[in-house]
Amino acid sequence: MPARGRRTEWPIVDRVALVENLAPRFDRIPAHGVFIVGQAGVGKTVLARQLADAAAAPETVTVIGLSALSGVSLAAWAPTLATRGLPADPHRAVAALVAELGAHPEQQILLVDDAPRLDSISAAVVYQLVRGFGVPAILTARLGEPLPDGIRRLLDEGLVERVDVPGLSWDEAVELLERRFDGQVRHGDLDRLLSRTEGNPLYIRALVEAAVRDGAVRLSDGVVVIEDGRTPPELLDAVTQRLEVLDPAVHRALQLVALVQPIRRDALLSGAMTTLTPDVLDHLELSGLVVHTSDGDLRIAHPLIAEALERDDTAEDVFADSVALLRSLEGDAARLAACRIEWRRGELDSTEAAWAAEYAFATGDLVHAAEYAHTAVGDPSAPIRFRGHVVLADAASLTGDRSRADDSFMSAEECARRPEEWARLAAHRGEHLAFRCFEVSAAIEQAERIRRSLPRESVSGTDADLRLWRAVRGEAYRAPLPDGSSSLG
Residues 6+ apart with CB under 8 A from 76: 63, 64, 65, 66, 69, 112, 117, 118, 119, 122
What's the CA gap between 278 and 290, in Å, rounded? Answer: 13
Same domain, 255 and 269: yes
146: left (phi over 0), alpha (psi -120 to 50) or beta: beta
- Whether 344 is in a domain gets the answer no
Same domain, 382 and 255: no
Q: What 3-state class would DSSP assign to 39?
A: coil
Nearest Cα to Cα of residue 115 among 72, 71, 150: 150
- Whether 317 is in a domain gets the answer yes
Contact 384, 376 (CB under 8 A): yes
Looking at residue 71, its amino acid is G
- Whether 370 is in a domain gets the answer no
Same domain, 194 and 261: no
pLDDT by residue, tens only, the chain of 489 residues: 443 444 556 888 888 888 988 888 887 766 678 999 988 888 999 999 999 998 878 889 999 999 888 888 899 999 999 999 998 888 889 999 999 898 888 888 999 999 999 999 999 999 999 998 989 999 999 877 889 999 999 999 999 999 989 889 999 999 999 999 988 898 888 888 888 888 889 888 888 888 888 888 888 878 888 886 677 777 788 788 878 888 888 888 899 998 898 888 888 888 655 568 888 888 888 777 888 776 778 888 888 888 888 776 666 778 888 999 999 888 999 999 999 999 988 999 999 999 999 999 999 888 899 999 999 999 999 999 999 999 999 999 998 889 999 999 999 999 999 999 999 999 999 999 998 899 999 999 999 999 988 888 888 888 888 888 888 887 765 555 444 443 322
Q: Report the pLDDT value the prediction gives residue 479, as an integer from 0 to 100.
A: 56
Same domain, 20 and 159: yes
Same domain, 89 and 215: no
- Whether 367 is in a domain gets the answer no
Task: Say how far residue 360 (Cα) sits from the centre of its chain.
Answer: 14
Same domain, 133 and 190: no
CATH number at residue 103: 3.40.50.300
Same domain, 156 and 193: no
CATH number at residue 311: 1.10.10.10
Range of the domain at 186: 168-230
Peptide bond connecting 233 to the previous residue in cis, omega within 30 degrees of 0: no
What's the CA gap between 404 and 366, in Å, rounded? Answer: 14
Q: Report the pLDDT value the prediction gives residue 315, as an integer from 0 to 100.
A: 67
What would the DSSP string read from start to end of 358-390? HHHHHTT-HHHHHHHHHHHTTSSSHHHHHHHHH
The values of phi and psi at residue 373, to 5°, are -60, -40
Q: Report the pLDDT value the prediction gives residue 382, as an integer from 0 to 100.
A: 95
Task: Say how far residue 113 (Cα) sits from the centre of its chain.
Answer: 23
Same domain, 73 and 121: yes
- Whether 457 is in a domain gets the answer yes
Residues 6+ apart with CB under 8 A from 485: none
Contact 36, 25 (CB under 8 A): no
Last residue of a domain, one of 113, 138, 164: 164
DSSP state for residue 487 in the 8-state scheme: B
Cβ-based burial of 304 (10 A; exposed 0-12, middle 13-18, buried ≥19): buried
229: left (phi over 0), alpha (psi -120 to 50) or beta: beta
Question: How many domains, the chain?
Answer: 4
Same domain, 38 and 136: yes
Same domain, 209 and 286: no
What's the CA gap between 312 and 58, in Å, rounded? Answer: 52
456: number of Cβ within 10 Å: 8
Global confidence as pTM = 0.65
- Whether 137 is in a domain gets the answer yes
Radius of gyration of the chain (CA): 28
- Whether 489 is in a domain gets the answer no
Contact 50, 163 (CB under 8 A): no
Nearest Cα to Cα of residue 363 among 381, 343, 337, 384: 337
Q: How far, in Å, are 76, 81, 115, 445 from residue 90 at the CA level?
A: 12, 10, 19, 82
Looking at residue 12, its amino acid is I
Nearest Cα to Cα of residue 19 among 54, 69, 58, 57: 54
Q: Report strand pairing: 223-226 vs 184-185.
A: parallel
- Whether 361 is in a domain gets the answer no
452: number of Cβ within 10 Å: 11
Q: Report the pLDDT value the prediction gives residue 389, as an integer from 0 to 100.
A: 97
What's the CA gap between 85 and 103, in Å, rounded? Answer: 16
Same domain, 432 and 459: yes
Same domain, 192 and 220: yes
What's the CA gap between 444 and 134, in Å, rounded? Answer: 65
Q: Report the pLDDT value the prediction gives residue 239, as an integer from 0 to 100.
A: 81
Last residue of a domain, one of 164, 189, 208: 164
Residues 6+ apart with CB under 8 A from 48: 36, 111, 113, 138, 139, 140
